[in-house]
C-alpha cells in the first residue's frame, strides 16, 4: 500500500490543516513508538524555530511518553544535528519538527532511525497503518520519562569542528553566515567562530515567524549584498532546518549546490578520497557533468530528492552527491545532508589551496538553464502523450549533445516541470517555451 502522509521528507503541511494538527501529531507519535520502539526505548526530539514547533513538540512528547518511550528534548537544532545526536546518544530513533525551507505557516515531522538515517518506505507504511488506532496509554509504571537536554547541542558543534583537518582552521577568514532565522542560528556562528573565523551573522534573530523570510538559502539577496559590503571573503546561506547550503563568493555571486559539489568533489578526487561516482539529480546542471568528465570523475543522476541521491550513492559505493538546491551528502562525514558540514568542506579546500571560492568554482561553467512550470488540473506523465513526445524528440534532436531536456511531473503539486539546458540561453528559453506549449495544448 502506498504512503498516504509521508512524502520524500516526512509529513508536511499547513499548520492547523490535516495532517499538521495536534491530534494527528499525537497519533503519529503513538504509531511511531509501536513500530520503532515496541519494547520501549528513547527518542530524541529537535525542531527549528517556528512558533508551531512548541505545540507539536508537546503533542509528540505526550504520545511517546504515553506509549512507554523516554523522550529527550533538545530544542532548536539543525536536522543533521538531530541525526548525529540520535546516533551518539544511542536512541531508538529521532524526530525533527520542521518544514525545512518553507515559510513559518507550514511545519512538518520527520524521523531518523537509530543509525541517523531516514526511515525506509516499509517502516513509514507500517507507521501509517497504525494511525487510525487509538493512541496507546500504558499503565503508570510503564510510562516513559521526558527531560530537556538543550546543552547537548555542543556535541554537534564539536562534531562539526572535527570535520576540518587537524592542521586547518579559519583564522583570518571573514565570513558572513545567514541562518535563515532557523535552526542553525546558534550552532553555525559559534562553530565558525570557534574555528577562528571573523563572523558577520545575519538571519540569526528568530521570532517564531521570520524563518526563511527574505533570508537564508532560498532568498540569498541580502547575503549577496552583505558579503562585498563588509569586505568578507565568503558567505554561507543555510535554510531553515540547516540541511541545505549555498555560498556566495567575495564578489557577491551565488555558488550553488552543483558548484559546491564540483569544489568538494575535485578536492576529494585529488586527495584520493573520492569513492565511486558523484551523484546528482535530473536537475543538476549539465555543466557539472562536463566539468567532472574533464577531470576524469564519474557522474550519475538520480531522481529529484535527497533520498534518491542517497539510495544511488549506496548502490554505487559513492560518498558524495547532492542537489542544485544545496542539499549535499558527504557520506564520509555524515548520514544526511548537512549545510554547515558541507560549507566547512569548502572552507577547508579554500584554506588548503589558498584560493578564493571564486577561483575554485571557476573550473565549472554552468550552462544556461530555462525552467518553466505548467500548472495542470491533475498530474500526468507528459512523455506518454504522443503530441508532447513528438515535440520533445524534435527539441532533443536539435540540441544534440550540447544540451539537455528534463520533462517531469512534480511529486508534490499539479505541475509539469519543463527544464532545458543549452549552450545559448535564448535557445534554452525558446525550446522550453515550445515544450511547455505542447503540454498545455495536450490538456486544453
Express each pLDDT in 39-97 by its tens digit: 999 999 999 999 999 999 999 999 999 999 999 999 999 999 999 999 999 999 999 99
Q: What is the pLDDT, as a whole number, of residue 1?
A: 44
Residues of the chain with pLDDT under 50: 1
The verdict on 192 and 339 lying in the same domain is yes
Q: What are phi and psi of 375, to 5 degrees?
A: -80, 135
Q: Is 100 a catalytic residue?
A: yes
Cβ-contact 242, 188 below 8 angstroms: yes
Question: In this structure, is residue 122 part of a structural domain?
Answer: yes
The verdict on 189 and 326 lying in the same domain is yes
The verdict on 200 and 122 lying in the same domain is no
The verdict on 119 and 245 lying in the same domain is no
Specify the CATH number for the domain of residue 109: 3.40.120.10
Q: Which three cell numbers stand for residue 276?
A: 565511486
| Structural domain range at position 122 | 11-155
Q: What are phi and psi of 314, to 5 degrees?
A: -65, -40
In this prediction, what percent of the chain has a pLDDT beyond 90? 91
CB neighbours of residue 289 within 10 Å: 20
Question: In this structure, is residue 3 part of a structural domain?
Answer: no
Domain boundary at 155, 173, 197, which?
A: 155
Q: What are phi and psi of 237, to 5 degrees?
A: -115, 115
The verdict on 281 and 308 lying in the same domain is yes
The verdict on 303 and 249 lying in the same domain is yes
CB neighbours of residue 112 within 10 Å: 29
Give strand ranges (E) for 55-92.
Answer: 69-76
Specify the CATH number for the domain of residue 419: 3.30.310.50
Distance CA 11, CA 96 (A): 11
Q: What is the pLDDT, as a whole number, of residue 378?
A: 80
The verdict on 357 and 373 lying in the same domain is no
Report how many domains make up the chain. 3
Q: What is the pLDDT, as a whole number, of residue 379?
A: 77
Question: In this structure, is residue 2 part of a structural domain?
Answer: no
Domain boundary at 123, 155, 187, which?
A: 155
Cβ-contact 59, 22 below 8 angstroms: yes
Question: In this structure, is residue 247 part of a structural domain?
Answer: yes
Question: In this structure, is residue 5 part of a structural domain?
Answer: no
Domain boundary at 312, 339, 361, which?
A: 361
The verdict on 201 and 330 lying in the same domain is yes
Question: In this structure, is residue 1 part of a structural domain?
Answer: no
Summarize pLDDT for 184-226 with one digit per residue, the tens.
Answer: 999 999 999 999 999 999 999 999 999 999 999 999 999 999 9
The verdict on 129 and 277 lying in the same domain is no
Q: What is the pLDDT, as a whole number, of residue 377?
A: 84
Catalytic, out of 52, 100, 217, 342 = 100
Q: What is the pLDDT, as a whole number, of residue 411?
A: 66
320-322: strand order across its sheet: 299-302, 278-281, 320-322, 328-330
The verdict on 310 and 270 lying in the same domain is yes
Which of these, 163, 287, 175, 283, lies nearest to 231 by C-alpha position? 175
Q: What is the pLDDT, as a whole number, of residue 442?
A: 84
Q: What is the pLDDT, as a whole number, of residue 401?
A: 83
The verdict on 98 and 140 lying in the same domain is yes
Distance CA 424, CA 420 (A): 11
Q: What angle do CA 264, 265, 271 make, to 5 degrees?
A: 90
The verdict on 167 and 309 lying in the same domain is yes
Amino acid at each position: 500500500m502506498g504512503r498516504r502522509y509521508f512524502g520524500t521528507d516526512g509529513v508536511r503541511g499547513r499548520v492547523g490543516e490535516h495532517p499538521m494538527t495536534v491530534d494527528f501529531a499525537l497519533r503519529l507519535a503513538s504509531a511511531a513508538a509501536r513500530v520503532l520502539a515496541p519494547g520501549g526505548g528513547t527518542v530524541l526530539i529537535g525542531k527549528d524555530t517556528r512558533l508551531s514547533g512548541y505545540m507539536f513538540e508537546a503533542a509528540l512528547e505526550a504520545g511517546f511518553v504515553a506509549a512507554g518511550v523516554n523522550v529527550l528534548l533538545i530544542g532548536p537544532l539543525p536536522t543533521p544535528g538531530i541525526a548525529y545526536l540520535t546516533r551518539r546518544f544511542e536512541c531508538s530513533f529521532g524526530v525533527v519538527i520542521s518544514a525545512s525551507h518553507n515559510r513559518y505557516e507550514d511545519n512538518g515531522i520527520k524521523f531518523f532511525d537509530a543509525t541517523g538515517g531516514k526511515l525506509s518506505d516499509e517502516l513509514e507504511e507500517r507507521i501509517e497503518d497504525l494511525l487510525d488506532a487509538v493512541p496507546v496509554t500504558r499503565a503508570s509504571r510503564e510510562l516513559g520519562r521526558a527531560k530537556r537536554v538543550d546543552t547537548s547541542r555542543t556535541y554537534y558543534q564539536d562534531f562539526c569542528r572535527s570535520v576540518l583537518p587537524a592542521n586547518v582552521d579559519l583564522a583570518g577568514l571573514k565570513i558572513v553566515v545567514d541562518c535563515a532565522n532557523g535552526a542553525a542560528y546558534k550552532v553555525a556562528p559559534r562553530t565558525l567562530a570557534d574555528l577562528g573565523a571573523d563572523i558577520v551573522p545575519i538571519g540569526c534573530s528568530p521570532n517564531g515567524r521570520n524563518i526563511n523570510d527574505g533570508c537564508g538559502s532560498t532568498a540569498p539577496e541580502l547575503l549577496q549584498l552583505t558579503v562585498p559590503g563588509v569586505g568578507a571573503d565568503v558567505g554561507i546561506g543555510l535554510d531553515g532546518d540547516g540541511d541545505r547550503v549555498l555560498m556566495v563568493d567575495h564578489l557577491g555571486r551565488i555558488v550553488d549546490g552543483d558548484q559546491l559539489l564540483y569544489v568538494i568533489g575535485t578536492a576529494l578526487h585529488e586527495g584520493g578520497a573520492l569513492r565511486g561516482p558523484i551523484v546528482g539529480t535530473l536537475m543538476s546542471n549539465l555543466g557539472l557533468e562536463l566539468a567532472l568528465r574533464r577531470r576524469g570523475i564519474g557522474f550519475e543522476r538520480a531522481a529529484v530528492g535527497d533520498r534518491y541521491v542517497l539510495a544511488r550513492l549506496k548502490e554505487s559505493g559513492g560518498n558524495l552527491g547532492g542537489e542544485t538546491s544545496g542539499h549535499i551528502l558527504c557520506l564520509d562525514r555524515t548520514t544526511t545532508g548537512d549545510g554547515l558540514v558541507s560549507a566547512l568542506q569548502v572552507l577547508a579546500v579554500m584554506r588548503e589551496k589558498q584560493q578564493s571560492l571564486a577561483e575554485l568554482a571557476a573550473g565549472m561553467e554552468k550552462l544556461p538553464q530555462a525552467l518553466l512550470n505548467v500548472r495542470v488540473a491533475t498530474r500526468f506523465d507528459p512523455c506518454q502523450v504522443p503530441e508532447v513526445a513528438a515535440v520533445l524528440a524534435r527539441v532533443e534532436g536539435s540540441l544534440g549533445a550540447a544540451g539537455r531536456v528534463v520533462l517531469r511531473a512534480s511529486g508534490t503539486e499539479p505541475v509539469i516541470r519543463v527544464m532545458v539546458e543549452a549552450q545559448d540561453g535564448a535557445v534554452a528559453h525558446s525550446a522550453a517555451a515550445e515544450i511547455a506549449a505542447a503540454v498545455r495544448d495536450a490538456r486544453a
